[in-house]
Amino acid sequence: MQKLEHIGIAVKNLAEANVLFAQLLGSEHYKIEEVESEGVRTSFFRIGDVKIELLEATKPDSPIARFIDKRGEGIHHLAFEVADLPQSISEFQSKGFQFINPVPKNGADNKSICFLHPKSTQGVLVELCQERNS
């Protein structure tokens, strides 16, 4: 892993959360993006070298909606940047880690992503991400 790329935070209302986090972080979000395939709308803030990604469900059966229904708003995942996503997936699988999606998919902010299952990471949802070639 190269670095902590972002922290994902599940929110019920993206507009309200954007106001709150702008006040908290002292800067405005720099991007809002919808990932239709995941049923989520995201907003990104930058704080130093790390991003904060706010996630709002756009569908009642989306992973974010289910997360909020079960656990409420709050930290959803930690995302780590990797240099070679397929190689990282192979390495983590060989070490016994379980994946929610072992085949990378397109995520927000021009990233290819996959998620390690929280059952194999002490209850923390871990995202591996790599910049997509445009």
Q: What is the mean pLDDT of residues 105-128?
A: 96
Taking the model in full, what pTM does it have? 0.94
In which band, very low, low, confident or very high, does the pLDDT at 134 lie, cut at 50, 70 and 90? low
Structure tokens of 41? 């709308």
CA distances from 70 to 61, 67, 78 (A): 12, 5, 19
Q: Sorting pLDDT into bands at 50, 70 and 90, what band is 80?
A: very high
- Answer yes or no: is pLDDT of 133 > 90: no
What residues have CB less than 8 Å from 91, skipping those under 6 apart?
Answer: none
According to the model, what pLDDT value does residue 96 have?
Answer: 96
Check if the beta carbon of residue 128 is closer than 8 Å to that of residue 85: yes
HSE-CB for 126 with a 13 A CA cutoff: 23
